[in-house]
């Protein structure tokens, strides 16, 4: 019974990751990670996506110079996200809720593209560039929530 509990705890910890007060040059998590809690995290690289997973929660997160800043299959809830100057998209997720954040200066094939979401993003006091809808893995029209949309 004790061995089964340890195996369960090990599997559960592999699916969630807590990152606090760290700076990285390279991806911090892989696509198998389900839940990411990030506080005071900086990730910069030119060769990979910075953060990959299902769900992201946290504050004071910076992603810059990455292929894609943040790629999630689920949701993002972040305060003070700074996602600038990434090669493709700043953040891609099912839904996004940002407060006091900056998501701008990201480009995809020479065109500005800062955020791809399936649902309309909720943005509070957030500087933003261009937001697009993600429709069945195809980019659709902008959400119309930003001045540049």
pLDDT in tens, 69-109: 999 999 999 999 999 999 988 999 999 999 999 999 988 87
Q: Which of 11-15, 46-50, 61-65, 133-137 has the highest mean pLDDT?
A: 61-65
| pLDDT confidence bin for 8, thresholds 50/70/90 | very low
The pLDDT, as a whole number, for residue 16 is 62
* Model confidence, pTM: 0.76
Return d(Cα 77, Cα 55) in angstroms, integer: 8
| Average pLDDT of the residues in 120-148 | 63
Q: How far is CA 2 from CA 7, 8, 26, 72, 122, in A?
A: 9, 10, 36, 34, 44
Which has more confidence, 44 or 78?
A: 78
Within the chain, how many helices (H) and strands (E) appear?
1, 16
Return d(Cα 94, Cα 46) in angstroms, integer: 24
| pLDDT confidence bin for 57, thresholds 50/70/90 | very high
The pLDDT, as a whole number, for residue 56 is 94
Question: For 5-19, 38-52, 101-115, which range has the lowest pLDDT when averaged over its residues?
Answer: 5-19
Which has more confidence, 27 or 62?
A: 62
Return d(Cα 65, Cα 85) in angstroms, integer: 6
């Amino acid at each position: 019974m004790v061995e089964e509990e340890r195996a369960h705890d090990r599997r559960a910890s592999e699916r969630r990751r807590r990152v606090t007060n760290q700076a990285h040059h390279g991806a911090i998590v892989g696509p198998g990670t389900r839940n990411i809690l990030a506080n005071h995290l900086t990730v910069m690289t030119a060769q990979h996506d910075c953060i990959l997973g299902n769900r992201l929660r946290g504050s004071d997160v910076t992603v810059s110079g990455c292929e894609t800043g943040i790629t999630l299959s689920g949701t993002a809830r972040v305060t003070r996200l700074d996602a600038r100057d990434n090669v493709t998209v700043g953040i891609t997720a099912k839904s996004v809720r940002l407060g006091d954040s900056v998501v701008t200066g990201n480009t995809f094939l020479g065109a500005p593209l800062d955020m791809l979401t399936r649902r309309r993003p909720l943005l509070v006091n957030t500087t933003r560039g261009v937001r697009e809808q993600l429709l069945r893995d195809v980019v659709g029209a902008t959400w119309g929530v930003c001045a540049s949309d």
